[in-house]
Every structure is written in C-alpha cells, then in structure tokens.
Amino acid sequence: MKTIPLPELFETLSSKGQLKQQVYKNAIEAIRLFKEVVTEIYEGYLQSDLRHPEVRFEYTDVNDFEVDMTFAGDVLVFIMHTNVFEFSRNHEVMNTPYVREDKNRSYCGVIHIYNFLSDSYTYQRDNDLGYLIGRIFINKDNYFFIEGKREVGMLYSGFGTQVLNKETAAEIVKSAMLYSINFDLLTPPFDDVKMVSVGQVKAAYNSLSITTGKRLGFKFQADTNGGHS
C-alpha cells in the first residue's frame, strides 16, 4: 500500500476546505440577496395602488438559511442547504467548457424554492404537500444556474455565463411568484372522493389531516394505515 506523505494530505485538506468555504460564503450571500429582494417586493406591494386589502402579502425571515413569502393563496420558501455539493459525472454541467476548464467550478451551494398552499401553514396541515419549483446552484466564482419549472427554469440555464447579483435574484423571485400564482389547485376526480367514512371525516376535521397539494387536490387519510383517495 502506497504511503501518502503528510504534506500532500495537508495540501488536499487545505485546498478542498478553502474551496468549500468559498462556495458556502457565496451561497450565504445569495440567500441574503433573496431576503433583500423579498423585503423590497413586499414593501413595494404595500405602497402600490394595486394593493388589495383582502389579498394577503407578507414574509418571514425564518433564519440565516431561509426566507418565506406568503401572497394570496401561496407560500414560497427559499431555503439554502448548508452543505456543498458536486454534480455527478453524468450531469450535463460536467460536459460544459466552463467546468472542463476547472473542475472545482462544479462544486456548488444550493438554494431550493418550494411552493406550498398558504392554508397549509395557516391551519398547520403538516401532511400537505409542497412542490420544488426550482433550485439554484452557486459556485466558487459566484456563477450560477437554475434547474426548475417553466418560467423559473428558463431564466438562467447556462452555467458560467451569469453571476448571481441583486438583479438576477429579483428576476428569479418574480418568476417564482408568477409560476406559483398560475399553478392552480385542481379539484380531484369526483369518483376518487365520493365515498368516505364518518371516522375519516371526523379525523380529518378534528386534526386537519386532509392532505392537500396543488396537483393532488385533497385526499382523506385513513386512521390506521394512511388510506387512499
């Protein structure tokens, strides 16, 4: 077995550690930018002539890694993962000239964007489903790209061409809001919910345990085994 010299080990430790620390710092700055943008959009709505008193709009700075915004019937959750990731060798990013030139560029922090129904939070329906509508990857150079749904994913899909700044963060937030507003709650097929037991109804409304999601509609959870629609 080949002996690894300590200087070589320490060099690898130091270089990889510095790389990940830089990526982490960039991701922290990115979530800070999203918080700043969310705050400004909220304040802009309060001052807008188009504001409606019955349309809810608020935000919550949850912690260093998360900000939530609630508007009308939706909640958007921007949450940063605290770890640094590298793409698998089969991911399309690994074949870009940008990454082939410097493999360290493939290490990224990740911010996920989830969409929930606001009633899921209001009524503490912990079984309700949210949807990942986008995730943002930020690397050591502060370049980023997005994987996501329709408006969100179409914004900045090329890696190595765009730096994450306040302007790009604002476009991401606005696109995520627009996608959520247009992503409507669908009623389930009638035959899927035409029969339900007294116990299921009582359990559902006593514990608010009707699982709801925009494409799920709603379904009653059985008392013992989780049930089905």
Digit-coded pLDDT (tens) for 205-221: 554 455 565 654 444 33
Digit-coded pLDDT (tens) for 186-200: 676 777 767 767 676
User: What is the average pLDDT score of the chain?
Assistant: 85
State the average pLDDT over residues 36-65: 96
State the average pLDDT over residues 48-60: 94
The pLDDT of residue 124:
82
Higher pLDDT among residues 181 and 206, named by residue? 181
Digit-coded pLDDT (tens) for 98-128: 999 999 999 999 999 999 999 888 888 777 8
pLDDT over threshold 70, residue 203: no
- Full-model pTM: 0.83
The pLDDT of residue 2:
78
Of 192, 196, 147, 150, the C-alpha closest to 175 is 150
Digit-coded pLDDT (tens) for 60-82: 999 999 999 999 999 999 999 99
The pLDDT of residue 229:
33
Domain boundaries, the chain: 6-182, 185-229
pLDDT over threshold 60, residue 154: no
Neighbours of 101 (CB within 10 A): 9
Higher pLDDT among residues 61 and 153, named by residue? 61
Structure tokens at 108: 């990224």
pLDDT over threshold 60, residue 227: no
Report the alpha-carbon distance of residue 128 to residue 210 in Å, rounded: 8
Report the alpha-carbon distance of residue 70 to residue 42 in Å, rounded: 10
Least confident of 32-36, 84-88, 180-184: 180-184
